[in-house]
Amino acid sequence: MQTWQRLGAFIGDHMLIIIPIGLAIGVCFPQTLSWMKPAVPVLFAAMTFQNSLGNEVSGLRDVLHRPAPLLIALVFVHVFVPLLAFGLGTLLFSGAPHGSDILTGFALEYAVPVGSSTIMWISLFEGDISLGLATLLVSTLLAPFSIPATVKLLVGASVSVDTVGMMRDMILMIAVPAIAGTATNELTHGWGKQTLSPALSPLARILLPLIVSINSTGISSFLFHLTPYLVGVMVFVLCFSVFGYAAGLAVGLATRQPRGRFISLTFSCGVRNISAGAVIAMRYFPAATLFPVMIGTLFQQFLAALSGRVMQRILAAPAERRGPSAEG
């Protein structure tokens, strides 16, 4: 068991290196991994279950007593950013090759829920875990409905969207395992969080780069045939990824959130469940749709680390120069 735990710890400590390696393996050896695509929903459900074992109903109840940061994050993630990304993307890319598919990718990339790795970053920088878990859980439970609705609303007139199929997959991949993980922890009075979650954590950390590798096989041909247009798509995704973290920082400062909530709000606005979007893109849309979704994996974790450092500097500044209070 100690070896197993050390393996998980090693993967977690080196995720910033392992994720790009997994991406590169999928891009360079698509034929080797593409046969595993049908298994991705099951692998993703297992990872979601483990990440949900730390959820506690009491934590969610506490957050609901002061729901402003939760509501801000949910509106930002599920309403504002998808609309803004699709609107700007339409202005820049609608007339280009694969324009419709790329726009669908933008809608999908920014309609996905908060990413489960949010909790890892919040814990690392000593944020409000309860707020992070509550935002993650509510965002995840909304996903089976918000993702199909967003895609249908924004691009339904130009692409064929299997709304029922997407809802079914999101329920099975995210909602059901999230509820099961939370219920397991509650019914076992914390055994799920204290014992089962650490035991399964190395497996979940193995599954994340594996899922990234499998999903990235779909963009192999694009990366080996990059055009100025596709580079432009990459720059667009990078800018919007930066925007997510920057907006979380700005809102936290403007609303003078306590320290813990300031950290949690920033990560909740910036970290997205890109793997879920990639699964949906791979199963229901052309390969061009997967490209902008998967490109986000190149930037997300690095930007999370950078945002954490920026927050540390802000919080270390004199009180009169910063927004969030030191308490909380």
Hey, what are 240's tokens?
A: 């919007």
Hey, what are 313's tokens?
A: 């500097």
HSE, side-chain direction, 13 A CA sphere, residue 297: 31
Q: Which residue has the higher pLDDT, 126 or 77?
A: 77
Hey, what are 293's tokens?
A: 């979704």
Confidence of residue 242 (pLDDT cuts 50, 70, 90): very high
Q: What is the mean pLDDT of residues 135-157?
A: 80
Whether 283 shows a pLDDT value over 80: the answer reads no
Range list of H helices, the chain = 2-13, 15-28, 30-33, 40-52, 57-65, 68-75, 81-93, 99-109, 117-124, 129-155, 163-170, 176-187, 191, 197-216, 220-223, 228-254, 259-270, 274-284, 287-295, 300-316
Distance CA(236)–CA(5), nearest Å, equals 38
Model pLDDT for residues 60-80, shown as the tens digit of each residue: 677 778 888 899 999 998 899
Model pLDDT for residues 180-215, shown as the tens digit of each residue: 988 999 999 889 989 998 899 899 888 888 888 887
Distance CA(154)–CA(146), nearest Å, equals 12
Report which DSSP code applies to 190.
T
Q: What residue has token string 């909380």?
A: 328
- Residue 260 identity: G
- Residue 87 identity: G
Whether 319 shows a pLDDT value over 60: the answer reads no
CA angle 147, 79, 139 (to 5 degrees): 55
First CA to last CA distance, the chain: 36
Hey, what are 1's tokens?
A: 């068991």
User: Nearest to residue 107, comparing CAs of 152, 142, 157?
Assistant: 152
Q: What is the pTM of this model?
A: 0.75
Would you tell me the crossing angle of helices 259-270 and 117-124 to the nearest 10 degrees? 150
Determine the distance from the C-alpha atom of residue 116 to the mean position of all C-alpha atoms in its chain, rounded to a whole number.
6
Torsion of the alpha carbons at 108, 109, 115 and 118, rounded to the nearest 10: -150
